[in-house]
Amino acid sequence: MFTARRARASDVERIRDLFVEAYGQGYPFKGFYDTDWITGLVYDEGTIVYVGEIDGRIAITATVNLSVGAMEDMVGEGGRLVAAPGSRTRSQDYTTDLCRALYAETEDRVQFLFCEARTAHRGSQRILEDMGWTVAGYEPLKYFDGTKRASTMLLIRLQGMALELRRNHPRVIPEVALLAKTVLSGLGLAEDVIVTEEEMGYPTDATFELERLTTSGFAPLLRIERGRLKNREVFGGKISLSHGFFQISNSQTEYLVARENGAVVGAIGFVNDPIDNKVRVFELVEFNDAVKGFLLAAVERVAREELGAAYIEVDVSAFSPKVQRTLQRLGFVPVAYCPSMAFDHVERVDIVRMARLTCPYDAGDLRLTNASRIIKEVVEKSMDDRIIGAEIEQATRDAALFRALPDGDRHALARLCRIADHPAGTRLVEQGAAATRMFILVSGAGTVARGGVTFGALTPGEAFGGMALIGRRERLVEVVLTEDSRVVAIDFEDLEKLMNARPRLGYAVMRELAAELGAKVSRAGIEALLPTTPRT
């Protein structure tokens, strides 16, 4: 006989015993080994704790946290689902019954419900999918389980008026589009995202004074907060400026404050979790757009370099392609798409969860349902693309021809590039052939020859073939790779279109080419044919 009900104080010791039986002492949330902490959880109005009795004995427990989002967002997190080890197989139906009863109790208070299911076991994924939940994300190596980093699948359920209040036609960058469409399709919704191709994001090279939040800096931040709800771009947990400084201090929450001429012009809030070695950004407040990119770049650097975070996470509005692009340029990838997750004015908006993994990625042995596998592959493709994109951007940064470009222009250029591996002996440029592209040598080596006579060598970081942009469309030299090499190629036609569309970029490139040509003309004889040498 099975009964699902709310937990009582008299159940606390048995709830603790369930975690000990299932995990030993290895469960990462140590509060579940502390009966006083569990008692507080049972009485907490922000948490619903359920237990399931089989033949009069508690064999299952699960919770819903109602305080994971801002109050107006009406977000809840289901989790802490544990079944007694000896009854797991025969209690799967019971577990489903318990979850149905628990989640039904949230329908009048929660419009967006989510769970993070472990990838090491299919059980929780299958239970949620059987109840109609949708897989919305794959969070690679987000948690530390006591011995190694572990990944989770994010599953979601929309309740109440979540769909009726959803704002249509989100605007996303191309890197987000496939994940967004896959999740929307899984929910049976129209794939109504608008892909913003040309968005370059906020500049990250602005200069402001940066400091950590102190009590003296808190009051000016409250004044900034008055305008932050007009256009929320970053969403997060229950901790925000409105909770007051002392509550912030008692959590592991910090703000980075940007000042200009001594005046506060913006701040970004984040939570540092030293147990899981992760950082979550939850709030971005500012007087103007100029400081946004600076703050996003600053929190990424602090999280990675000062706090040593292995995983950095930001929830971004699906209607803010500028922040999406800025984070993508900083190394973040979309790991989840959450329709109707947050409340903004009179509508609910979709959220893109973006994450930066700073440790080596090794998925390990995952046990996934088919729906989970599909989402995982979409996210991993974004991770692979980001690695290649970062390599191309670094190559353009190293090349003298493009070194002076700002980040936004360099990113636009990198999107045109193609990178490929070539074996030693490849003739990359043939003398007398039509010139249709230029190159950057990322790794390897090559020689430059004219009329069969070798007169120069190529080393990593050198750009070559670009002089044809000035007007000469016939190759004057040949280039042969002498080692296995990795090479970036840029088609002239694509580059010229970009230069016409972005005159600042075109001016910078042509200025460098003119300087290079002048230097070559000033040198005598065959030296004029040497490839670009990176400037110091």
- Per-residue pLDDT, averaged over 168-172, amounts to 96
User: pLDDT tens digits, residue range 378-401?
Assistant: 999 999 888 887 788 888 888 888
The pLDDT tens digits for 527-536 are 444 554 443 3
pLDDT band at 186 (very low <50, low <70, confident <90, very high): very high
For the CA atoms of 484, 362, 282, 315, the dihedral, rounded to the nearest 10 degrees, stands at: 70
**Strands 418-422, 209-212: parallel, antiparallel or unpaired by DSSP?**
unpaired
Predicted local confidence at residue 333, as pLDDT: 95
429, pLDDT greater than 50: yes
How many of the other CB atoms lie within 10 Å of CB of 249?
Answer: 14
Q: What percentage of residues in the chain have a pLDDT greater than 70? A: 87
Looking at residue 51, its pLDDT comes to 94
Q: What is the pLDDT of residue 247?
A: 41
How many angstroms separate the Cα of 23 from the Cα of each of 33, 52, 150, 229?
11, 18, 15, 42
Query: Which residues are within 8 A (CB) of 417 and not within 5 positions of it... i.e. 6 or more apart?
Result: 392, 395, 396, 440, 488, 489, 490
Give all strands (DSSP E) within 159-199, no chain letters: 171-172, 194-195
Task: Classify residue 382: in a domain, yes or no.
Answer: no
Do 114 and 195 sit in the same domain of this protein? no
Q: Is 115 helix (H, G, I), strand (E, B) or coil?
A: strand
503: containing domain: 407-529
Dist CA 275 CA 346 (whole Å): 37
Q: What is the three-class DSSP state of 433?
A: coil
Residue carrying structure tokens 């007007």: 471
Indicate whether 305 belongs to any domain: yes
Chain centroid to Cα 336, Å, comes to 9
Domain-located, residue 472: yes
Residue 11 sits in the same domain as residue 110: yes
Mean predicted lDDT score pLDDT of the chain: 85
Asked whether residue 220 falls in the same domain as residue 342, the answer is yes
Q: Give a yes or no: residue 368 inside a domain.
A: no
Are residues 195 and 255 both part of a single domain? yes
- As to burial, measured by CB atoms within 10 angstroms (0-12 exposed, 13-18 middle, 19+ buried), residue 410 is buried
Residue 456 and residue 356 in one domain: no
Tens-digit pLDDT profile for residues 11-66: 999 999 998 888 787 666 677 888 999 999 899 888 999 999 988 899 999 999 88
Q: How many domains does the chain have?
A: 3
Do 193 and 140 sit in the same domain of this protein?
A: no
Domain endpoint, select from 361, 394, 422: 361
**What DSSP letter does each residue of 439-457 carry, written as one string?**
EEEEES-EEEEETTEEEEE
148 and 48, same domain (yes or no): yes
DSSP-assigned letter for residue 137 = E
Q: Tokens representing 382?
A: 């974004």
- Do 309 and 442 lie in one domain? The reply is no
Asked whether the beta carbons of 95 and 83 are under 8 A apart, the reply is yes
Whether residue 199 is found in the same domain as residue 148: no
The string of pLDDT tens digits covering residues 484-494 is 999 999 998 88
Rounded to whole angstroms, the Cα distance separating 142 from 139 reads 6
Indicate the SS3 state at residue 265.
strand
Q: Tell me the pTM.
A: 0.81
Shared-domain flag, residues 118 and 227? no
The pair of three-digit structure tokens given for residue 445, joined into one six-digit string: 């080596």
Query: Does 165 map to a domain?
Result: no
CA gap 507, 472 in Å, rounded: 19
**CA-to-CA distance for 282 and 260, rounded, in angstroms?**
23
Residue type present at position 101: A
Per 3-state DSSP, the chain is made up of helix, strand and coil in percentages (nearest 5) of 35, 30, 30
Confidence of residue 6 (pLDDT cuts 50, 70, 90): very high
Sheet (strand 453-458) strand order:
427-429, 478-481, 446-450, 453-458
Q: Is residue 290 part of a domain?
A: yes
Distance CA 334, CA 357 (A): 11
Is residue 389 domain-resident? no
Note whether residue 289 is domain-resident.
yes
**For position 139, which CATH number holds?**
3.40.630.30
3-class SS at 388? helix
Question: Given this model, what pLDDT does residue 244 score?
Answer: 43
In which element (H, E) is residue 98 found?
helix 92-104
How far is residue 232's CA from residue 310's CA, in Å, rounded to a whole number?
A: 26
Decide: helix, strand or coil at residue 235: strand
Q: Are residues 236 and 91 in the same domain?
A: no
Cβ neighbours for 165, distance < 8 A, ≥ 6 positions apart: 111, 340, 343, 346, 347, 348
Coil/strand/helix, residue 176: helix
Q: Are strands 112-118 and 75-83 parallel, antiparallel or unpaired?
A: parallel
Give the type of residue at 123.
Answer: G
The span from the CA of 338 to the CA of 135, in Å, is 10
Ranking 17-26, 221-230, 265-274 by mean pLDDT, the lowest is: 221-230
Average pLDDT of the segment spanning 439-461: 89
**Cα-based angle 513, 527, 456 (whole degrees, multiple of 5):** 95
pLDDT score of 4 more than 50: yes
Assess whether 228 and 333 both reside in one domain. Answer: yes
